[in-house]
Structure 1
């Protein structure tokens, strides 16, 4: 066998004299699973080194997001917010992975990773301000609900077009490398986004440039209504990382301990070897794709019920109780209080004014151009002509 670095085609040469074909299943990529449903470890599994404070913070963030999702979907049904997306069943994938990062590692999310943002310190008030697009929203009301972002928390603002963050993460991580920073980037996306061209461009770029980035694929079984077996034929997504010359690992996404350990090791590898890593987390999407989706049209209630038995929060909670780190009665009181806090925060946020219309043309150039100013005046003139169609809070227009 010749070394690939001595071959212009960048391939290893293993000469055979009979035709042989290889498919992705020959890789036989295993799935890392540490925690059983009852909170005990699988035989031969080792628990990651998690101190009590970190372990409870992971649990608190997962529970927070579960309750926030529950209340805000109800608020959308009531017409109080225009749109919402839950991460029901996928809480461990984003919270436990964020826990394994350095706070200054850049996170580039898709749109179902609010758990990672909360773990980093995004407050209930900040969530509500974004969802209601009020004058305290960090995005100044320019984004759809659940399109969060925080410069202070190193969380890149989410954009609606699918997969755009993947090549961006490769470029950002390469910049971290050039600056000699002791940090990596982590990019979340679903298996549906892995069917976009940006996925292939981003992974190849990162592999060739040896960018310290973790590509974290949440394989939840469906790209909106399209099941995975109608998206691709290969063995999941992890094998694609191997195809692009990077190391890959598949993990049980409903197992917070496995997700944490896989991400911790992937970060160590990406930083020390300055190269990308792909993580594929298998976690069934228990909720609808979004508040605009009805999953009953493409999957059965029996299927959903079967996967509800793999609830990541319930499994992790069992482990915490076995460790003696969680009291059931105190936890119930805290959950009840949080539900009320969410409702109270919603009432406050929805009463706040919308951003002033003049902020609409800011942040494009250092100073708004004459063309932007003219367009803003045209918009104001239009609103004056049809005031009933554009109800604005007092003082937010002129």
Structure 2
């Protein structure tokens, strides 16, 4: 049996698996640990890989690598078949071909490990098959640092690719030098390629971006990984918001000494007290008014004329802050008259500060149980004061 040429890079993989069990009779008062026995099969993701050395080129075909867990629960390489100690641990750990060997045609692939553990008492121990990157490094890779756990299910494919993209963008903006930017982008590409390869092969097993990051040789907590993805803190903005709730609500935004009004509303107000004596408000009816920015709106429902036909005006005046601009306008509206809906007109008079119906000949009604009449106009009045609206309560 021949060995790999020294030019092909390898790395030792370790793993210790133990079960935490009820504390036994011993000096401490802590749960005991029991080594977990069993076997493992490690597989290279690619079915074969071409390698190139000074001795020539060759094709390495993927064959499962068998391993065991020794009497203390450590992953170990067993003695081969036919050896007097066949099946017993030969040495701790398993030596594998690294996934970023420059002498190999295919790089940035993954290894997977499938375990089969013996029972601990009456409990069947299970760890799902998972994949991992194996970049070259002098120190061994501890699978306990990259094995997924139920508490950290990891990212799916879209989230991992998005995280990799954010990593590349943030690194490009914040790296202290061009070399650091290049290295960060390369590692981000490896994260994305690893996740995509698993998904394309139908073997995606939930390996998180954090675990892949650890597999690339990084160390740190998940919080440190998230900080690694981020760029530098940007400059604080200088815009501030101010809310004036004296009358209704006005929201301003300011940048330095300049302040701009974003939105304003008086909230809906009950103006039934401003109706003339020749109109009545029926069941479920109302008369309400609201100002938003420089637009005022009157809303009427089930408001009916009851006086003589010559009594056209129905609004005695406008609150200060709602008065129309210096014009007399006519607004077409639909009104109900004896069960029929007709198009008529409403006059908004500036000089008299009132509102009425044009050429009323019947006893029409603004709105009914199914509809609301809405009449709007522009105003150049200053924002109303609390005193001006004291008799016009806010409608909940």
Higher helix residue share: 1
- Higher-Rg member (1/2): 2
Higher strand residue share: 2
Higher relative contact order at CA 8 Å, sep ≥6: structure 1 or structure 2? 1
TM-score scaled by structure 1? 0.17
TM-score scaled by structure 2? 0.17
